[in-house]
Structure 1
Amino acid sequence: MFYMTTDDGVKSPEIMRQIRSLIGSGRIRVLKHAASRMALRCYTLPEIEQVLIGGFHEFERDEYDQNHSVWTHAIRGSTRDGRETRVVVAIVDELLVVTVVGPLK
């Protein structure tokens, strides 16, 4: 299982590797809220995957969700058409796309 915290709740430094691995193995799920935001902002799943694979981790935007005992991670990158985008994900047994923000300026 791919949990991204240690027993004391500290973030793992291997988040991007885990994200890329989960996408590569097809273990990605878009949550209802994220699907709504993607439709509203005209993003496709391949574009979201592109941002996650080619983007960078915005450590300062990560948050720990105590109710679910999981970190959410903010990844920022660009789509092929140049839209700067932030994708927030959580990692459990799969990659959960929590929300999509963009285009950013």
Structure 2
Amino acid sequence: MTTSQDSAAKPAAARRKPKQPAGATVTLTADQAGQWSVEVSTGKKRVLRPTPVPASAVAQAAKSLHADVADAVEPLLEAAREQQRVRVEQLQQELADAQRMLDELTE
């Protein structure tokens, strides 16, 4: 049998109900350069500041979440792929030019 004295002897923390989680918001953001970041908040508290994540992880997550999510993210990923293709072509051209100049200097 519990008396009022027994409950008064328990610390206040032991009498309180555990706090229910407030839920979480996970936000993925893509910038103009095709770089992705993730941010996590619980209630009004930000528990993870924007943190870079690979585009491949975003693509994988989008596909596993829902077809509509994948459809919404795909154009952004394709634009990032195209930017990288253009960059690779530019670098290949620069490398070819540099190799040609080196060859001319060593003849």
TM-score bracket for the superposition, by shorter chain length = under 0.3
Kindly indicate whether structure 1 or structure 2 has the higher relative contact order, using CA contacts under 8 Å at least 6 residues apart: 1
> Larger % of helix: which?
2
TM (normalized to structure 1)?
0.27
> Larger % of strand: which?
1
Structure label with greater radius of gyration: 2
